[in-house]
Chains A and B, each alone.
Chain A
Amino acid sequence: MRDGASPEQYCPRNAGRPMSDNLREHKSGSWLGLVLRDVQFWVPVAVLIGGLLVLRWIS
């Protein structure tokens, strides 16, 4: 800046940021909850349980 001011005085860090950025900060603390609420997560979990049951049966 020509007058020595920091860029943030003219353009604060949060100004003009896309909504997804703010959402990211909000979500970063609860990513485990997001995983548990993701339907796709439960497909491999169900298959893993099925695999363990097959293993128990054949061994």
Chain B
Amino acid sequence: MAPGALDAGRLRTLQGVGMLCGLTAGAWLGAAEAPTKLVTLGLSPVVISLSMVIGVFLARWTLPALIQGTSYVAADLRQAPHLIVWAVLAGCLWAVANTLTIFAVRDVGLSIAFPLWNSNSLLGILWGIIFFKELRGADWRRWAGVLGGALLMFAGATALALASAAQVPARDAARGIAAALGAGVLWGTMYIPYRKAYLTGMSPLSFITFFTVGELGMMAALALTYSGGLSPLWSQLAGARHVLFWLLAGGFVWVIGDLFQQYAVKYAGITRGIPLSNTNQLWGLLWGILVFGELRGASQSVLAQVIGGSLVMALGAGVIAMSSVSKSEHASWQKAAASEGERYGVDPEYTRSRIAGESASIVRRRTWIDWLVVTVATATIIGFALIARAPQIEIAWARAAVLVIVTLGMLALAGVRLWRATRFN
């Protein structure tokens, strides 16, 4: 066995956890759309995006403080301080992409925009192969599984888009499509910093704390620019205060999904983790149809397209999930990790142990800072909840409860397995 190589059992465990995290990410990223559907006011795209990002910011500091403690995050960053720059850059990419998606939904509708920006997984796979030696050393079946599965998912997503395209009037198709594709390219490229961090060995919980600084900074700059300054932006936010809670909640739920997506990238790689987390489209559709009554009264052919597209997408996800990383491919990952560590002078033992999901002797302890972060975030969310208005939209509560239970069940399952296998490293 090569030095630092994982034994077959450990590799299988990490792969399984990575795949499960990808699927759980899909469920939570899809569920994040539900609170935003409750907002029917004519808010500007940047105000919606900024409000979600504020919720995202709160969650991205609260969860690491609760799970690992900020001292763990600080110790992690001391090992690889260069990743702060990469994290901030990734956050900027995310903020611009998220804003573009809101313009895309406005101009061509969710059904067309969603599969277009979900093409990010194809670009992510390309970057994974080019920059991080993913799929190197893999046999042809794994290549076919990953690429075929990703293409199946893309085809399924396109079928879902076509199914309801006629129901959404396109305001400005060219701009909407450019926005959706632009978001896909930005998100697909965002996986470069993700993979860079996780090959080095950083915990996703540490990475996201600086990721969100870029996210909030870029989003605030965009909101100030496109709203015409601080005063108009403030008055728009004040006017929307009764619905801000739903957007914050959407952002918070989204972060849980994104966190699992990051663990999926860490332990299953971009080529497997991202396509699996892109099953969020299926979950978004489930919420839309079952809870919010979308596609009600649709023709048989539209329903057939929806069911067919969903099955093809699920099949693609299944094919990818079965294309696990072989030992020879994992050896290529380790070579990429070693060259990354050498480039930035990271302790090889830190990288080796963290890739294996071990703690690299960093001690977890919570301080008053952690409790302060959690208290401030909780108080902010409760404050907005108290002034929130009940949604004026028909909701099938029983079905919503079933989906919530299933989504929480996936969170519990993936969370327990991730904790047992990696202690959230």
B178 touches A58 (CB 8 A): yes
- Decide if B99 is an interface residue (CB 8 Å cutoff): yes
Among A21, A41, A51, which residue has its beta carbon within 8 angstroms of that of B185? A51
- Decide if A28 is an interface residue (CB 8 Å cutoff): yes
Please encode chain A, from 44 to 58, with 1 for each CB lying within 8 Å of some chain B CB and 0 for all others: 110110111011011
Q: How large is the interface on A (under 10, 10 to 19, 20 to 34, 35 or more residues)?
A: 20 to 34
A44 touches B345 (CB 8 A): no
- Decide if B175 is an interface residue (CB 8 Å cutoff): yes
Q: For the complex, what is the distance from the CA of A25 to the CA of B344, rounded to whole Å? A: 10
- Decide if A24 is an interface residue (CB 8 Å cutoff): yes
For the complex, would chain B's binding face be called helix, strand, loop or mixed by DSSP majority?
helix
- Decide if A40 is an interface residue (CB 8 Å cutoff): yes
- Decide if A8 is an interface residue (CB 8 Å cutoff): no
- Decide if B348 is an interface residue (CB 8 Å cutoff): yes
Q: For the complex, what is the distance from the CA of A34 to the CA of B149, rounded to whole Å? A: 37
B178 touches A57 (CB 8 A): yes
A51 touches B82 (CB 8 A): no
List the one stretch of B11-19, B186-194, B239-247, B257-265 in contact with chain A: B186-194
Among A28, A48, A55, which residue has its beta carbon within 8 angstroms of that of B93? A48
For the complex, would chain A's binding face be called helix, strand, loop or mixed by DSSP majority?
helix
Q: For the complex, what is the distance from the CA of A55 to the CA of B178, rounded to whole Å? A: 9
Shortest Cβ distance from residue B371 to the other chain A in the assembled complex, whole angstroms: 31
- Decide if A11 is an interface residue (CB 8 Å cutoff): no
Shortest Cβ distance from residue A18 to the other chain B in the assembled complex, whole angstroms: 8
Query: Given that A23-B342, A24-B345, A28-B345 are known contacts, is A44 also in contact with B189, CB under 8 Å in the complex?
Result: yes
- Decide if B32 is an interface residue (CB 8 Å cutoff): no
- Decide if A13 is an interface residue (CB 8 Å cutoff): no
Shortest Cβ distance from residue B333 to the other chain A in the assembled complex, whole angstroms: 16
Among A18, A38, A41, A57, which residue has its beta carbon within 8 angstroms of that of B175? A57
A44 touches B90 (CB 8 A): yes
| Residue contacts A-B, CB under 8 angstroms, 29 given | A20-B342, A20-B345, A20-B348, A24-B346, A26-B345, A31-B81, A31-B82, A31-B345, A34-B344, A35-B82, A43-B189, A43-B192, A44-B89, A44-B93, A47-B93, A47-B185, A47-B186, A47-B189, A48-B89, A48-B93, A51-B96, A51-B97, A51-B100, A51-B182, A54-B178, A55-B179, A57-B178, A58-B176, A59-B226
